[in-house]
Amino acid sequence: MSHSAAGKEHERVGAVAASTGEPDEPATVTARRAYLRSVAEGQPLTGNELGRMCGRSSSWGRSQIRAAKAELAAADQSATAEQEHAEALAEHPPATRNAEDGNDSPQKAADAAAAAAADPTPTGTADPVRAEQRPGASLSAVIGLAAGVVMSVAANIAHSFLPPAGAPAGWHPPVGAVLAAAWWPVALFLAVEVLTRVRWQSGPWWATARYGGVTIVATVAAIVSYRHMAGLLIAYGEDPISAHIGPLAVDGLMVVAGLALLTIGARPTPKESAPAERR
């Protein structure tokens, strides 16, 4: 190296050292600052120059250069991350992002809608009809319906044993007639049980099917049972008025008990549950 080149290098190192040194600053900090400043000026110091500037060896200078480069890379990475975060905030403001997060899963929305359709009772909302029932209400309704069914079955079977006009001595009804006479009130009881215990789908068609079906069963059972019981009372010698109004007490009991079970077992619709939820 010529004397002029060596002189220029000496001057550059001295200038960098003079511009970066701080009082009582560790040599490592001074060296790294000096190197970073020389890089910014486009004339990075070598390990030999950095070591001489701080009165250390060349290997020490090279280790400080490596450390300064690592700090520079970490700073660049942090700056890049901050820039990306700022760009993301600019593209998606917090309010918009929160709204998107609430609707980011169509599958979750579909699952929630399906669950609401299957179970219209809002979560955490008690059914006011069930909550207001007195203890034993369901048991009373079941006992009332069962008593009406038993009474109706007994009357129907007894009526089937009444001999028709002109029947020979020792006449007995066919087994099929006895079973048919007992079937109508049993069918009504089973229809009410199915209607109250099955979790039905929502919708007008399902409502028409279940209530229409139980209405047909109830109508047939009421007419047949009424005729059988009235005929039985007349055959036993009751007066016509008592014979014709007496069966209404049994049918009325079965209607009231059946409706009570329907009320207790019915699930509230969303419109019925909304006021309770708002409270």
Query: Which helix (H) or strand (E) element contains residue 67?
Result: helix 58-91
What count of other Cβ atoms lies within 10 Å of the Cβ of residue 245?
11
How far from 139 is each of 114, 129, 131, 201, CA to CA, in Å? Answer: 33, 16, 15, 26
- The burial of 253, by beta-carbon neighbours within 10 Å (0-12 exposed, 13-18 middle, 19 or more buried), is given as middle
Longest pairwise C-alpha distance within the chain: 152
Q: Is 142 a domain residue? A: yes
Query: What is the C-alpha to C-alpha distance for residues 264 and 266, in angstroms, rounded to an integer?
Result: 6
pLDDT tier, 4 (very low <50, low <70, confident <90, very high otherwise): low
pLDDT tier, 272 (very low <50, low <70, confident <90, very high otherwise): very low
Query: Residue 69: its pLDDT value, please?
Result: 85
Closest CA to 231 of 149, 163, 150: 163
Q: What percent of the chain has pLDDT over 90?
A: 1
Last residue of a domain, one of 91, 119, 144: 91
Whether residues 67 and 152 share a domain: the answer is: no
Q: Is 249 a domain residue? A: yes
Stretch 115-133: mean pLDDT: 53
Query: Residue 5: its pLDDT value, please?
Result: 54
Whether residues 83 and 148 share a domain: the answer is: no
CATH number for position 18: 1.10.472
Query: Residue 33: its pLDDT value, please?
Result: 85
Tokens of 60: 């020490």
Q: 19-49: per-residue pLDDT in tens?
A: 555 555 688 888 888 888 888 888 888 888 8
Q: How many domains does the chain have?
A: 2
Query: What is the C-alpha to C-alpha distance for residues 6 and 268, in angstroms, rounded to an integer?
Result: 96
Q: 151-160: per-residue pLDDT in tens?
A: 888 988 988 8
Stretch 216-239: mean pLDDT: 88
Q: 59-89: per-residue pLDDT in tens?
A: 888 888 888 888 878 887 887 888 887 777 7
Whether residues 256 and 178 share a domain: the answer is: yes
Q: Is 71 a domain residue? A: yes
Q: Is 262 a domain residue? A: yes
Q: Is 213 a domain residue? A: yes
**Choice between 93 and 56, residue whose per-residue pLDDT is larger:** 56
What is the residue-wise DSSP string for 239-270?
Answer: -HHHHHHHHHHHHHHHHHHHHHHHHHHPPPPH
Q: Is 152 a domain residue? A: yes
Query: What is the C-alpha to C-alpha distance for residues 262 and 25, in angstroms, rounded to an integer?
Result: 88
Last residue of a domain, one of 91, 125, 145: 91
Last residue of a domain, one of 68, 91, 114: 91
What is the residue-wise DSSP string for 115-156?
Answer: HHHH--SPTT---HHHHTPPTTHHHHHHHHHHHHHHHHHHHH
pLDDT tier, 132 (very low <50, low <70, confident <90, very high otherwise): low
Tell me how far the alpha carbon of residue 102 is from its chain's centroid.
15
Query: What is the C-alpha to C-alpha distance for residues 261 and 255, in angstroms, rounded to an integer?
Result: 10
Range of the domain at 159: 136-164+172-268
